[in-house]
Amino acid sequence: MAKESFESGLSWEVRANSRHFHNQKKSLLCFGWGRYADNVLRSYKYSPLTFLPLTLFEQFQRAANLYFLLMVVMQCVPVIASVPWYISMIPLLLVLTVRGSKDLINDMARRRSDSQINTRPCDILISQSFQSAQWKDLCVGDVLRIHRDQVIPADLLLLYSSEPHSLCYVETADIDGETNLKYRQAAGATHSELTAHPVEETLAAFDGVVLCEEPNNRLYTFRGELHWRGECHLLESEHILLRGTVLRNTEVAYGLTIYTGTDTKILKNSGKLRVKTTQTEKVFNFVVIGIVVTLLLAALLLAIGSGVFSSRVTGHSNVLVANGNPVYTGFLAYWSYIILLSPAMPIALYISFELIHTVHSYFIGWDIEMYWQQADRPAQARNTSLNEELGQVEYLLSDKTGTLTQNRLLFRQCFVAGQIYGDASVRAEDVEPMDLSWNPYSCGGLYMSAPSLVEKLRFEQCPLSRQFLTALSLCHTVMTEWKEVPPVYQSASPDEETLVGAARELGWVFLSRTRDFVKVSELGVTRQYQLLALLDFTSKRRCMSVLVREPEGGLKLYCKGADIVILERLQKDSPYQEWTERALELFSQACLRTLCVAVRSVPEALWMQWSKTLARSAAMATCDRDAVLEKLYDEMEQEMQLLGVTAIEDRLQEGVPETIALLRQAGLKVWVLTGDKKETAVNIAYSCKLLDPDTRLLEWQELRQILQAPDPGANFFKSRQMELWAVDTNTAGAKTAVVLTGPELAEFDQRPEWGSTFMSVAEQCQSVLCCRVTPGQKADIVTLVRKHTSSVTMAIGDGANDVNMIKTAHVGVGLAGVEGGQAVQSADFALSQFRFLQRLLLIHGRWSYKRISIFLRYFLFKTCSFALVHIWFGFFNGFSAQTLYEIWFIAMYTVLYTASPIMCLAFFEQDVTAEISLKWPEVYKSGQRQELSSPLVICLTLLHAVYSSFVLFFIPLGVFHNTAFDYQTMSVTVSMAATFTATIEIMLVTRYWTKISVASLGVSVVLYFIVSRITQSRFLFERSPKDYFFIGTSDKAFIDPVVWLTALLTAWTAVLPSFTAHALSVIQTAHDKHKVHSVSLQPTQLKTNFRRATSLRRSSYALSQGAGPGRLISSGTCIRSTAPPVDEKMTCSNNLPLSQGQTHTKDYNSTSM
Amino acid sequence: MVKEEEESPNRPDNTAFTQQRLPAWQPMLSAGIVIPGFVVIGLVFIGIGVALFVTSRSITVLEIDYTGVDKDSPCFKCSDPDIKNCPCTVDFTIDTLFEGPLFLYYGLSNYFQNYRKYSASKDLTQLSGDLANFKAPSDDCYPYDYSAQKPIVPCGSIANSMFNDTFKLFHMVKGTKNPVALDGKGIAWWTDYNVKFRNPSVNPLKDAFNGTTKPPFWPKPAYELDPTDPANNGFINQDFLVWMRAAALPNFRKLYRRISEGEYEKGLPAGNYSLEIAYNYPVLKFEGRKKVVFSNVSWMGGKNEFLGIAYLVIGSLCVVMSIVMLIVYAKFKFPEED
């Protein structure tokens, strides 16, 4: 038995109730390995034992740290030590400690959140009784009891549930973003055999063996066999409860654990934790390596020079201490020069870099406008090293459910008999609630104020509107659950739930459903309709109908569906047609989801004939039948009379359309990746202004042609122009959006060459919508974008299904919302609301990018210009690695004399204020283009630094050449000039002068003079002559006019190029800047309001993918026994002709619901 | 309000700092500021440059190279390093009054006093009079730390290579040699003389040097550097101090004497002069040159034409730059006209 299964790939064996079988673990010390993972979540990296080695290993993977370590080691060798060792040892230790403790703190946080999940309670069957245990105790093969609203701790095989037919309902929002309930059903065998009471005993005796696939990340498929009592039952994904889903509306479900912990499908989907580094850091690291290599090369050349010089002077070695062996002298000079030039790449840079990142992260957390009062939650930068990347994002990949939308559908408006009820321009919260006290079933939730409609309904003034509500209460696949009055509605489609709920509020209460009857209370009068046929929804038909026999005996077909479908099936002379068009137009402008509702009185004769055909078709083979059925349905759904139009608002998160509009202006491309249905996704994309009303959708068929074409770009343009030239040739470029679904996306796996073509097409499109994608596919899309563009990607989401993409993107943002989201744990930034993204990107991101790139460039400039002086000095001191500065100046220059102004700049600089950044989002684009951190800009900075170092040496050389000035005076002059140069340069780049910046600038320059006087004082000299031998130099130099004049001239000449460049840019951009500052005063909101010149109606009806749940209804499997008590007296007469209605849908090929 | 804050402990502080709204001055630069700014800076520089240049011009310098490279130069006979204390005389004429106070420098070229090993080759503790380091000089002094198992005091190559030519200046008045008084006091830095270099407090000084030996290159030990003035001996000998203050660059001057008292206080009148040199210091083997420099000084010290010219050049550059900017500005302001 096992052998066969093995051959078919089912190699994962699970034996129920036999822990010892699965616990055969090998382990050594604390490391264990076994076939079956335990159910403990371990997202932490360190243990007390491994922390030190691991963190050191990680930190010394950074080339910079290794380099600094090497410097420290070298400075400990006396022969070559041109500067003392402690000058770089202390900073290095500081860096390692700070970084290490930061990692440790992060890891502790992960441990805490892990243990929170690991200690969640669950009931495990242990020796005939269920005992309360924790998630981490769970093993493969355990039998579990899950209660209503509990989160499922591992992937389970559903054995049995308290509901009829062992059905149970799960919410999969965390897995695929869909909020509607899904059905899961136990295998027939286990259901029937395990129903006997008491459950514990039968379950404890259950000894089935499950053979299934090895753990994998395919969420929607499962292959397996259950071998039990000598029989083999096939298992499918329908029988599986996935970890992370929530049991709903089901009292108790029992399951057999199949995959635990890291083997579960959701964790297999969650991707690996990656260490993220920013683009700027990458460019910067490259530059660092470049500088280091250059320095090594320069040191080598200087060392050769040293050897040559030494060989030339050996003749009079009594004067100069030359060792006699030029090669050895050169060798020593090489290392000395490396040490001497190493301040060009100071470790202080890395310390400051970390510090700035941390402060920027604090600023994000401190921003009161990103604080959400409702949940008392500020924004949070969980990863403190990605700030500047926020200013460079070009692709925003967003989840839909919970991120863009609130998961709430509201019935906002309707159109009945030539009249529009409700007002969508009022915010849902502000709608005045109607007086519905006459309705005992009313329980709120209707955000539509239409007293006139209620009046018409109650006083029977308008038969059409009554029929409209009858249709709403009859034509659906909703199920009721009677716990108390009013009933709770459950549906596979949230739209339907909303419609039925709205009808309930208005007095048409759907009470219960059996296989053949639907019971409705119409304004308190209970009426029972016989359900003759259910013409189910498919995404192709885009409508559904019910055929009912009224209590009075008449036959009625109630139909609802997309406007295009319904309008063409109406009677020719139906009234209000023009009004209907207008109403649809209005609704779609308000971004409401519309459905048309229609009715048809079906003659008895037609029904008899039609039902016969239907019965015949039921006997046909599946493939033919679908076509026949479709035709049949089409015949019935004709000659209808329009009852009205419903308009549902899919509640967006607050401020989503504004935010997306703003981000699009800022040059971001917003893509939506969702596990939800295509219809919903497209609708949301329109309503949140991601797509303009006239945006054309480029679907798979067309896209495929483009991708397969030999010259895809040309093809794309051609097709676009053919279709769109008539509308608006100018904007054709941006007015296209690609819509893809998961299975279509899977084709990319086989055709890797499509990736780049797809990206080149997508780059020209307004947006890309990916629907029905798994978490893994979401990550794949991010990878696709990362691979084929050099742009920065940002992923935003709230659920566990977004974790993978959040980890994969350059920057991951988790939305915490009201309940807090799973995604936050692995996100780099946590926000409470989508709209905070505008501040995060346009203000904090832009500023961070600006500040950090200026910081890096300035730092490189000041350190290189200061250190490279030694190269030039080498030519005039026999390449002897003589320092041109007092060693204390070398130690203090970067950390004291020039540090605080640049830190102030890196903390406070604002080229434009927060308000202007938001009103003028175009300024964000400079970050996307890497204008401030491109290799070219950095090269220019380095060039300037080299020039400055040249000036810093050669002007003093000219002055001091052939004079009586000594080495120490020249040294003080050059150091003074270097300090002045750095100070003038920072004054040039600072645009935002706070009191702190002015003070820090003054203080750091004054510090130079004070500290120089101190280190060159008699007091320190007398304590350690060897360390403070510059005694008296500054006393003399600081009052010498030549020293001052030289230092000033040198500093001015050194900054002259950047001064000129700044001045030229001021002259050139003065005009633009003026524009920014003046135009920004006007509200830019105007733009969005005048956009709706042309609008295309959209109407959709979103259900689960593929067919609707009609099969379950008509087969009666999910009809609850919890109907209202009056139901007991239900008449069961005349149920003759109905069987056709159910049979035809029985074998409907319903893909994963 | 207070209540609200209690309910939301995580609410960020609404301060100017946390909200990044610190009051700040944001200068709006425009061409109207930048271009005149450049002109002003340029003019200031030109002004300084002119002042420096004029000052520098007013300083007179007389340089006499006495290395003795040419066969017909008076010191040629002394250029052989084997001849010690070789006397040679250089005659020169001054046409007009050489205004005083005058400074007499010796200059060396191609001499790398800033060579790292060389300039570090001294023992500052020893030089500050610590007797412990008399017995055991620091390793830095190698190879001039011990000579024949005796510690060298002062140790190190910089001390060992002390310049030891001496000069005497005579005014030739009607065939008689009239000596010009050369003042060697106070030519070293105050801190060097009073703090950095100290003689051990042993009296007589000679005793402190017991058990040590003089640097090999020196003719006399340190305590006999100046036989004329007992106070000018040991580590605080002015010539020694001047020598020990290492030069910045391979071509340098060092102050030798001042002509600031006696009859030549106001300067050297026109006439013939004779400089008698005791030639000791070998420079030819490293292609060095020796010279004697007479110079008067101004507020900016010695003659320095470079600084003035550099100021003029940079100042003019700024003015030129501002003209270029004006052209660029005009092009941007009125693009349609082009």
B45 touches A: beta carbon within 8 Å: yes
pLDDT, tens digit, 9 for 90 and up, residues A549-564: 998 888 999 999 888 8
Question: Taking CB atoms and an 8 Å cutoff, what residues of chain B touch A367?
Answer: 12, 18-20
User: Which chain A residue is nearest to residue B51, measuring alpha carbons?
Assistant: A1045
Q: Is pLDDT of A861 > 90?
A: yes
C-alpha distance from residue A363 to each of A354, A366, A386, A469, B16 (Å): 14, 5, 13, 53, 11
Question: Taking CB atoms and an 8 Å cutoff, what residues of chain A touch B24?
Answer: 908, 910, 992-994, 997
pLDDT, tens digit, 9 for 90 and up, residues A625-643: 778 888 888 888 888 888 8
Query: Which of the residue ranges A161-170, A505-514, A598-607 would you say has the lowest mean pLDDT?
Result: A161-170
Question: Taking CB atoms and an 8 Å cutoff, what residues of chain A touch B11?
Answer: 368, 371, 373, 376, 378
Q: What is the pLDDT of residue A705?
A: 81
B28 touches A: beta carbon within 8 Å: yes
Q: How confident is the model at residue A1103 (pLDDT cuts 50, 70, 90)?
A: very low
- Summary mean pLDDT of chain A: 81
C-alpha distance from residue B234 to each of A37, A297, A1007, B128, B224 (Å): 84, 46, 38, 11, 7
DSSP state of B197: -
| Chain-chain contact of B249 with A1045 (C-beta, under 8 angstroms) | no
Q: Is pLDDT of A586 > 90?
A: no
Region A881-907: mean pLDDT is 90
Q: Which residue has the higher pLDDT, B11 or A346?
A: B11
C-alpha A499, offset from chain centre = 32
Query: Which of the residue ranges A97-101, A961-965, A1066-1070 would you say has the lowest mean pLDDT?
Result: A1066-1070
Distance CA A525, CA A517 (A): 16
Query: Which of the residue ranges A222-226, A534-538, A966-970 would you say has the lowest mean pLDDT?
Result: A534-538
Q: Which residue has the higher pLDDT, A779 or A432?
A: A779
Question: Taking CB atoms and an 8 Å cutoff, what residues of chain B touch A319?
Answer: 118, 157, 161, 286
Distance CA A970, CA A957 (A): 8
Q: Which residue has the higher pLDDT, A442 or A793?
A: A793
How many beta carbons lie within 10 A of that of residue A931, not counting itself? 15
Determine the distance in angstroms separating the CA of A38 from the nearest CA of chain B, rounded to an integer.
37
pLDDT, tens digit, 9 for 90 and up, residues A901-918: 999 999 999 988 899 999
Query: Which residue among A316, A883, A1067 sits closest to B329, beta carbon to beta carbon?
Result: A1067
Q: What is the pLDDT of residue A623?
A: 67
Distance CA A419, CA A112 (A): 58
Q: How confident is the model at residue A839 (pLDDT cuts 50, 70, 90)?
A: very high
| Chain-chain contact of A967 with B248 (C-beta, under 8 angstroms) | yes
Contact A908, A1001 (CB under 8 A): no
Instruction: Please enumerate in sequence order all residues whose Cβ is within 8 A of that of A284, keeping only pairs 6 or more positions apart, or say none.
Output: A856, A933, A938
Q: How confident is the model at residue A776 (pLDDT cuts 50, 70, 90)?
A: confident
pLDDT, tens digit, 9 for 90 and up, residues A229-266: 888 888 888 888 888 888 887 888 888 898 988 888 88
The stretches in chain B having pLDDT less than 70 are: 1-7, 335-338
Query: Which of the residue ranges A831-835, A1029-1033, B97-101 would you say has the lowest mean pLDDT?
Result: B97-101
| Chain-chain contact of B119 with A967 (C-beta, under 8 angstroms) | yes
Considering only the C-alpha atoms of chain A, give the largest distance between any 2 of them, rounded to a whole number of Å.
128
Determine the distance in angstroms separating the CA of B149 from the nearest CA of chain A, rounded to an integer.
18
Q: What is the pLDDT of residue A611?
A: 87
Q: How confident is the model at residue A455 (pLDDT cuts 50, 70, 90)?
A: confident
B329 touches A: beta carbon within 8 Å: yes
Query: Which of the residue ranges A247-256, A659-668, A936-945, A1047-1056 would you say has the lowest mean pLDDT?
Result: A247-256
Q: What is the pLDDT of residue A719?
A: 56
Q: What is the pLDDT of residue A987?
A: 93
| Chain-chain contact of B22 with A994 (C-beta, under 8 angstroms) | yes
Q: Is pLDDT of A1078 > 50?
A: no
Query: Which residue among B9, B128, B192 sits closest to A376, beta carbon to beta carbon?
Result: B9
Question: Which one of A320, A325, A362, A909 makes the best mutation probe of the B interface by having the most chain B beta carbons within 10 Å?
Answer: A320
Q: Is pLDDT of A381 > 60?
A: yes
B161 touches A: beta carbon within 8 Å: yes
Question: Taking CB atoms and an 8 Å cutoff, what residues of chain A touch B217?
Answer: 318
Question: Which one of B124, B292, B293 makes the best mutation probe of the A interface by having the most chain A beta carbons within 10 Å?
Answer: B124
Region A132-158: mean pLDDT is 88
Q: What percent of chain A has pLDDT over 90?
A: 24
Give φ, ψ of B325 to 5 degrees: -65, -40
Q: Is pLDDT of A1093 > 50?
A: no
B142 touches A: beta carbon within 8 Å: yes
Q: What is the pLDDT of residue B335?
A: 60
B311 touches A: beta carbon within 8 Å: yes
Region A413-436: mean pLDDT is 82
| Chain-chain contact of B191 with A1031 (C-beta, under 8 angstroms) | yes
Question: Taking CB atoms and an 8 Å cutoff, what residues of chain A touch B142?
Answer: 321
| Chain-chain contact of A1052 with B45 (C-beta, under 8 angstroms) | yes
pLDDT, tens digit, 9 for 90 and up, residues A777-787: 889 999 999 99
Instruction: Tell me which H or E stretch contains A1074.
Output: helix A1041-1079
| Chain-chain contact of B116 with A366 (C-beta, under 8 angstroms) | no
Query: Which residue among A368, A996, A997 sits closest to B19, beta carbon to beta carbon?
Result: A368
B272 touches A: beta carbon within 8 Å: no
Distance CA A632, CA A610 (A): 8
| Chain-chain contact of B246 with A966 (C-beta, under 8 angstroms) | yes
| Chain-chain contact of A969 with B314 (C-beta, under 8 angstroms) | no
Give φ, ψ of B156 to 5 degrees: 95, 155
| Chain-chain contact of A964 with B105 (C-beta, under 8 angstroms) | yes
Q: What is the pLDDT of residue A314?
A: 66
Q: What is the pLDDT of residue A956?
A: 96
Q: What is the pLDDT of residue A383?
A: 83
Q: How confident is the model at residue A397 (pLDDT cuts 50, 70, 90)?
A: very high
Pairing of β B176-179 and β B166-173: antiparallel
| Chain-chain contact of A1032 with B113 (C-beta, under 8 angstroms) | no
Contact A1146, A615 (CB under 8 A): no
pLDDT, tens digit, 9 for 90 and up, residues A269-324: 776 666 777 888 888 888 888 888 999 999 999 999 998 888 877 655 455 555 56
B233 touches A: beta carbon within 8 Å: no
Region A1057-1076: mean pLDDT is 75
Count CB pairs under 8 A between chains A and B.
Answer: 240
User: Of A15, A258, A255, A257, nearest to A159 (Cα)?
Assistant: A255
Give φ, ψ of A909 to 5 degrees: -55, 135
* A713 three-state secondary structure: helix
Contact B290, B165 (CB under 8 A): yes
Query: Which residue among A878, A880, A962 sits closest to B251, beta carbon to beta carbon?
Result: A962
Query: Which of the residue ranges A707-711, A763-767, A1110-1114, A1147-1151 would you say has the lowest mean pLDDT?
Result: A1147-1151
Determine the distance in angstroms separating the CA of B318 from the nearest CA of chain A, rounded to an integer.
9
> Which of A399, A495, A563, A802 is the catalytic position?
A399
Distance CA A241, CA A153 (A): 9
User: Of B27, B288, B20, nearest to B161 (Cα)?
Assistant: B288
Query: Which residue among B121, B192, B304 sits closest to A959, beta carbon to beta carbon?
Result: B304
Q: Is pLDDT of A1084 > 70?
A: no
Give me the interface pTM, i.e. the ipTM: 0.95
Query: Which residue among A995, A996, A1045 sits closest to B307, beta carbon to beta carbon?
Result: A1045
Determine the distance in angstroms separating the CA of A186 from the nearest CA of chain B, rounded to an integer.
46
Contact A397, A673 (CB under 8 A): yes
Q: Is pLDDT of A1082 > 50?
A: no
Q: How confident is the model at residue A955 (pLDDT cuts 50, 70, 90)?
A: very high
Q: Which residue has the higher pLDDT, A199 or A352?
A: A352
B249 touches A: beta carbon within 8 Å: yes
Q: What is the pLDDT of residue A1085?
A: 35
Region A735-739: mean pLDDT is 85
Q: Is pLDDT of A663 > 70?
A: yes
Q: Is the dihedral of CA A132, A135, A137, A141 positive or negative?
A: positive
Query: Which residue among A880, A964, A1070 sits closest to B253, beta carbon to beta carbon?
Result: A964
Q: What is the pLDDT of residue A1114?
A: 58
Contact A926, A394 (CB under 8 A): no
Q: How confident is the model at residue A24 (pLDDT cuts 50, 70, 90)?
A: low
Give φ, ψ of B10 to 5 degrees: -90, 0
Instruction: Please report, as a single letter, which amino acid is at residue A217.
Output: N
Q: What is the pLDDT of residue A320?
A: 55
B19 touches A: beta carbon within 8 Å: yes
Distance CA A716, CA A720 (A): 6
Q: Examine the residue annotation and report whether A399 is marked as an active-site residue of this protein.
A: yes
DSSP strand E in A811-970: where? 811-815, 829-831
B8 touches A: beta carbon within 8 Å: yes
Q: What is the pLDDT of residue B213?
A: 92
Question: Taking CB atoms and an 8 Å cutoff, what residues of chain A touch B292?
Answer: none
Distance CA A1115, CA A1146 (A): 6
Helix axes A86-118, A51-59, angle to 10 degrees: 120
Q: What is the pLDDT of residue A930?
A: 85
Contact B122, B142 (CB under 8 A): no
B335 touches A: beta carbon within 8 Å: no
